[in-house]
């Protein structure tokens, strides 16, 4: 990952709108007309074959080639003359796979060595590629559970789908442990596995699980540079799923790595809180539950990531295991590779303990709410630390201590073998002994608890209660980590300037999604949205209650009031001729999904030169003063912004 330090340190001293832009991906080379004709013709022919193969379970493995060339041609992303040749070759390979499927075969599913595959994303319906290194010992009928090492690549500003696929067909990679599968993530290009890039990992891994007999307790997470940052992020937030984590270099938080702290840069109060979403340092305690081995060269500036994580682990009473490359900058030494392989092999043999007797867990948001058999269902206040320490003592007692937690589930599946099914479980929660109804039967046991003021009680179902819960807790960017649909207004806006701004922001959001998240943002007119759309998607509505018919249906059930005269949030009132509402909220038409008003992902061009800046910038709601034009960081002047409370209520204080 390039740091672009000189550019960034100079640029961030300037107002966002005056910064020189360093956009990614950069412009490509000119493609001769003859090559353009050949590529367009090849795309058309392959597209017809793909259409005829719809419904085939392996069609995504063909679509990845078509998408790679289409995006390069449409987006001016042939970065070298060699890329043009590669594009033609990928179309040829796509046709070969299509012919195989037409004959009823898919030989690449049985192949060993380097294999490229794809899946259809639940987020936007796009096809996304991934690479595999399948060991020589692989055979579909072999009775073996496979270890999987997931590898996150470093920053590559020209890492188009063409470049990624070509590399994954010709390069074995830095680490290829024997007799296991290596999963190479595309990660939706170059975002250090945040947001859609984060989801890409789990979707690709799930696709591998469909095609291989994966050992759930021997999945390891590894990466270097930007990929090291990905490994820190995934390991700290989702360590419950993995046997070990091995980040190399990279970054683990934003402010120190980027230089905000050193320069004394002041962030808005909500930017500060939102960093608790992505900073791995804030989740250091979770490495109690999953082994982590960090690597860096001793002369690499990016050793800062391991240094700061070591400090934060130490504060939790933990010691970070480290491997250092001697006399090495930004890379691995042969000795370090050998040492890391030995350590990772040992951890893989040991495997993940799905149900350890002790669990320690910390989180700042219900987005990340599980560690092994401990599930946090409610917290006192988002973006303030919550903790759970839980221990099984003997064969029927569970002792739990919490802070900042209001609802909790203890969830032990069959086979956990921690509690005696012949005895009734005893739970001591923050010193309070609770009688848990029901008894263990097949070794499974689930108990729900909720705190009322200072007392805990066994919980009842509250699924119909409006409150923040896992995957329904905000902020705005969370809506773009599952299926979403842009809803385009067809009516006349209440105020022409706001209507023009909303249209421009929708187009800008679609462009960012294409360039940064490598998908075509789904869109429908407001008049075409169906009940099925509402049931399946987060709705992203653009415009105002007059121009957008879907927004008109729900505006009276949202915490914002919006008329031709004013946009009102609580006690704050803003002229509607010059202000627009932006927010995320449970959709009144389907409270299991979000509705978002007038926003896409909230990081903009300002964040493109450095991956540590690709974080959430806006909280749950904001009012935008459009008299200040959008710039590379903001959609306009943020007149007010804040977070809804734990019951999705508008709170006094936060920005009001």
Pair (523, 611) in one structural domain: yes
Pair (390, 535) in one structural domain: no
Express each pLDDT in 455-497 by its tens digit: 999 998 787 899 999 999 999 999 999 999 999 999 999 999 9
Residue 219 is assigned to a structural domain of this protein? no
Q: Other CB atoms closer than 10 Å to residue 598's CB: what's the count? A: 25
CA distance 314 to 235: 17
Which residue is it, tokens 């073996």? 144
CA distance 80 to 31: 9
Decide if pLDDT at 133 tops 50.
yes
Decide if pLDDT at 4 tops 70.
no
In the structure encoding, which two tokens stand for residue 114, read together? 């380097």
Residue 145 is assigned to a structural domain of this protein? no
CA distance 538 to 505: 18
Pair (422, 561) in one structural domain: no
Report percent pLDDT > 70 for the chain. 96
CA distance 10 to 649: 41
Decide if pLDDT at 3 tops 60.
no
In the structure encoding, which two tokens stand for residue 627, read together? 């008299």
- Residue 654 has a pLDDT of 52
Interior angle at CA 643, CA 642 and CA 644, nearest 5: 125
- Residue 359 has a pLDDT of 98
In the structure encoding, which two tokens stand for residue 24, read together? 């990614």
With cut-offs at 50, 70 and 90, classify the pLDDT of residue 435. confident
Report residue 193 CA to chain centroid gap: 6
Alpha helices in 239-319 (DSSP H): 255-258, 260-263, 269-278, 304-315
Decide if pLDDT at 565 tops 60.
yes
Number of domains in the chain: 2
- Residue 166 has a pLDDT of 98
- Residue 656 has a pLDDT of 44
Pair (506, 600) in one structural domain: yes
**123 has which bridge partners?**
none
Residue 256 is assigned to a structural domain of this protein? no
Give the phi and the psi of residue 210 in degrees, each rounded to 5. Answer: -70, -30
Pair (393, 496) in one structural domain: no
Domain-ending residue, one of 406, 424, 458: 458
Range scoring the smallest mean pLDDT among 133-142, 346-355, 506-515, 600-609: 133-142
- Residue range 501-511: mean pLDDT, rounded: 98
User: Where are the extended beta strands (E) located within 265-421?
Assistant: 293-297, 321-325, 358-363, 370-371, 374-379, 386-393, 397-403, 405-412
Residue 376 is assigned to a structural domain of this protein? yes
- Residue 15 has a pLDDT of 40
Pair (613, 504) in one structural domain: yes
- The DSSP result for 68-113, as a single string, is HHHHHHHTT---SHHHHHHHHHHHHHHHHHHHHHHTT--GGGG--E
CA distance 471 to 538: 11
- Residue range 158-181: mean pLDDT, rounded: 95
CA distance 296 to 225: 9
Which residue is it, tokens 């401990």? 374
Express each pLDDT in 639-648 by its tens digit: 999 999 999 9
Residue 28 is assigned to a structural domain of this protein? no
Decide if pLDDT at 12 tops 50.
no
- Residue 323 has a pLDDT of 98
Whether residue 194 is preceded by a cis peptide bond, meaning omega within 30 degrees of 0, is no
pTM (two decimals): 0.95
Pair (484, 548) in one structural domain: yes
- Residue 8 has a pLDDT of 30
**324 has which bridge partners?**
296
Pair (448, 563) in one structural domain: no
- Residue range 211-223: mean pLDDT, rounded: 97
Q: Which domain range does residue 534 map to?
A: 476-642
CA distance 100 to 551: 47
Average pLDDT, the chain: 94
CB 208 within 8 A of CB 214: yes
Pair (633, 506) in one structural domain: yes
**Of 139, 200, 150, 196, the residue nearest 173 (C-alpha):** 150
Pair (451, 481) in one structural domain: no
Parallel, antiparallel or unpaired: strands 405-412 and 484-488 = unpaired
Domain-ending residue, one of 394, 425, 458: 458
Report residue 47 CA to chain centroid gap: 30
Domain-ending residue, one of 458, 489, 519: 458
Express each pLDDT in 183-203 by its tens digit: 999 999 999 999 999 999 999
Decide if pLDDT at 7 tops 50.
no
- Residue 16 has a pLDDT of 43
Residue 533 is assigned to a structural domain of this protein? yes
Pair (448, 493) in one structural domain: no
Residue 114 is assigned to a structural domain of this protein? no
Helix (H, G, I), strand (E, B) or coil at 646: coil
Pair (543, 638) in one structural domain: yes
- Residue 107 has a pLDDT of 98
Residue 382 is assigned to a structural domain of this protein? yes
Q: Other CB atoms closer than 10 Å to residue 8's CB: what's the count? A: 19
């Amino acid at each position: 990952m390039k740091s672009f330090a000189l550019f960034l340190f100079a640029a961030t001293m300037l107002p966002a709108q005056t910064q020189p832009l360093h956009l990614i991906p950069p412009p490509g080379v000119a493609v001769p007309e003859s090559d353009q004709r050949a590529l367009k013709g090849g795309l058309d022919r392959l597209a017809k074959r793909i259409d005829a193969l719809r419904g085939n379970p392996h069609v995504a493995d063909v679509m990845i080639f078509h998408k790679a060339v289409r995006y390069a041609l449409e987006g001016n992303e042939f970065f070298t003359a060699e890329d043009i040749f590669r594009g033609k070759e990928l179309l040829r390979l796509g046709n070969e796979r299509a012919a195989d499927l037409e004959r009823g075969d898919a030989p690449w599913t049985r192949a060993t060595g380097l294999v490229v595959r794809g899946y259809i994303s639940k987020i936007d319906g796009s096809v996304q590629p991934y690479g595999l290194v399948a060991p020589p010992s692989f055979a579909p009928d072999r009775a073996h559970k496979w270890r999987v090492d997931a590898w996150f690549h470093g920053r590559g500003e020209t890492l188009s789908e063409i470049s990624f696929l070509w590399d994954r067909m010709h390069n074995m990679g830095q680490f290829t442990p024997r007799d296991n599968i290596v999963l190479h993530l595309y990660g939706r290009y170059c975002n250090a596995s945040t947001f859609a890039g984060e989801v890409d990992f789990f979707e690709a891994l799930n696709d591998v699980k469909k095609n291989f007999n994966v050992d759930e307790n021997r999945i390891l997470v590894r990466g270097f540079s930007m990929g090291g940052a990905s490994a820190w992020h995934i390991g700290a937030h989702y360590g419950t799923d993995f046997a070990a984590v091995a980040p190399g270099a990279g970054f683990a938080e934003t402010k120190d790595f980027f230089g905000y702290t050193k320069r004394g840069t002041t962030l808005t109060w909500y930017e500060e809180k939102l960093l608790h979403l992505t900073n791995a340092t804030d989740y250091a305690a979770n490495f109690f539950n999953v082994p982590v081995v960090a690597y860096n060269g001793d002369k690499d500036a990016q050793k800062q990531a391991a240094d700061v994580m070591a400090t934060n682990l130490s504060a939790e009473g933990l010691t970070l295991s480290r491997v250092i490359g001697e006399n090495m900058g930004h890379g691995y030494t042969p000795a370090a590779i050998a040492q890391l392989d030995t350590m990772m092999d040992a951890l893989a043999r040991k495997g993940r303990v799905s149900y350890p007797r002790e669990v320690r867990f910390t989180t700042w948001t219900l987005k990340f709410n599980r560690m092994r058999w401990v599930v946090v269902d409610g917290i006192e206040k988002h973006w303030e630390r919550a903790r759970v320490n839980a221990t099984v003592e003997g064969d029927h007692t569970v002792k739990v201590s919490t802070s900042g937690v209001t609802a909790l589930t203890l969830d032990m599946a069959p086979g956990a073998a921690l509690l005696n099914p012949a005895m009734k479980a005893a739970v001591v929660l923050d010193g309070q002994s609770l009688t848990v109804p029901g008894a263990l039967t097949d070794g499974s046991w689930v108990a729900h608890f909720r705190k009322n003021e200072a007392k805990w009680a066994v919980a009842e179902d509250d699924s119909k209660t409006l409150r923040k819960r896992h995957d329904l807790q905000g902020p705005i960017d969370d809506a773009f980590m599952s299926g979403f649909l842009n809803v385009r207004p067809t009516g006349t806006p209440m105020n022409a300037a706001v209507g023009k701004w909303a249209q421009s922001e929708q187009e800008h959001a679609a462009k960012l999604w294409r360039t940064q998240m490598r998908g075509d943002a789904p869109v429908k007119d407001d008049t075409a949205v169906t009940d099925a759309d509402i049931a399946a998607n987060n709705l992203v509505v653009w415009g105002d209650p007059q121009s957008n018919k879907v927004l008109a249906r729900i505006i009276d059930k949202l915490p914002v009031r919006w008329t031709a005269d004013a946009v009102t949030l609580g006690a704050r009132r803003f002229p509607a001729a010059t202000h627009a509402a932006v927010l995320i909220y449970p959709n009144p038409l389907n409270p299991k999904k979000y509705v978002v008003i007038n926003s896409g992902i909230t990081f903009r061009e300002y964040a493109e030169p450095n991956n540590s800046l690709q974080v959430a910038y806006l909280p749950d709601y904001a009012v935008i003063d459009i008299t200040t034009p959008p710039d590379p960081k903001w959609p306009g002047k943020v007149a007010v912004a804040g977070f809804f409370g734990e019951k999705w209520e508008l709170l006094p204080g936060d920005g009001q």
